[in-house]
Structure formats: C-alpha cells, structure tokens
Amino acid sequence: ALPEIPCTDRLAGYGKRKQAVCYDTLDGGGRGPDLVVIPAGGGAAKALATGRTEVSNADYGAYCQRTGRCKPPTGAAEYPVTGISIDDARAYATWLSQATGSSYRLPTDGEWTYAVVAQGSTDASSVNCLVEIGGKKVRGVALEPVQSGSSNSWGLYNALGNAQEWVQAG
C-alpha cells in the first residue's frame, strides 16, 4: 500500500507533478480518488483540493458496493460515471466525507470555473467537446477515459468536456 499523501496548502498549484497528487484513505482500507490542490484566487476564496479527474465508474462503483445504495455502473472502470443525478453526486460526496474523515462536497460554479481556466492554460486540443465541421462530427462523439488527454496547469484531466460535471450555486 502507498502511504497517504495529505492534501495541504503546500501542494497548491503543483498538481502536474506526480508527487503533488494527494488522496485520502477510505475506512476499511482502500484509497480515495486522486486530488490536486488548487491555489486560492478567482472563484476560490482559499486553496481547495479537487478531484484530479472526473469521478470514474470504478470510484462510484466502490461507493455503490460499500453502501448498497445504488447499482454499480456497468461501463468500463476507467470511464467517467454518467447518468447520475445531482442528489446521487451529493450522496457520493457525503459518503467520501464519512469514509475518509475529510470534507468532500461539490464545487461551486466559481470554484469549478477557476479550476478549469487554470491561469488560462486549458489545452483546447485535450477538450472532448462536440465539434462539427461542414455538418460532419469530427470529435467529441464518445466519452474518453477520465485520465485521457493532457492535464491543465493545475493537474486536472478532462475538466472541460467529456462528461458533464455537477456544481453547486455559490
């Protein structure tokens, strides 16, 4: 087992470095999702840890199996979970909080926007949005694995495009 890497302010802004990726340990064993720490600024009043990738089918499936509250997703483990409601997403965050002892929640719209923009470094070539040229779909026609493409300067993968993310007002 790998040692737990605590998510502290000292990691803020270094998410592209492997040694700056942090996570929490789940009670009963196992590792929570990989996180990166976004520095304060923009829509974030203080530094905050956020998921390095979209929530995968594997991560959501672990929640379903451990709690019995849902049926594990049937998609490939490395792909983002889709087809869940905002209430399902909030329940997953609540479970992560209980299972790790850390505080998890959905980001606010301002926090998410700040994290995606990442000092203006979002690589448009890594965005999986629907693109049509001359009426022909040329990209964004299918989901990609959660860690596909390149990360932005904070170390986030697929923060813009791929599966739709849930945020809360604020």
In this prediction, residue 75 carries a pLDDT of: 92
The pLDDT of residue 3 is 41
Strands in the chain per DSSP E = 35-38, 48-51, 131-133, 136-139
Identify the segments of the chain with pLDDT beneath 70: 1-6, 8-19, 119-133, 136-141
pLDDT, tens digit, 9 for 90 and up, residues 116-166: 887 555 444 455 555 566 776 655 667 888 988 888 888 888 877 788 888
Nearest residue to 57 (alpha-carbon basis) of 25, 35, 33, 36: 33
Q: Report which residue type is found at 12.
A: A
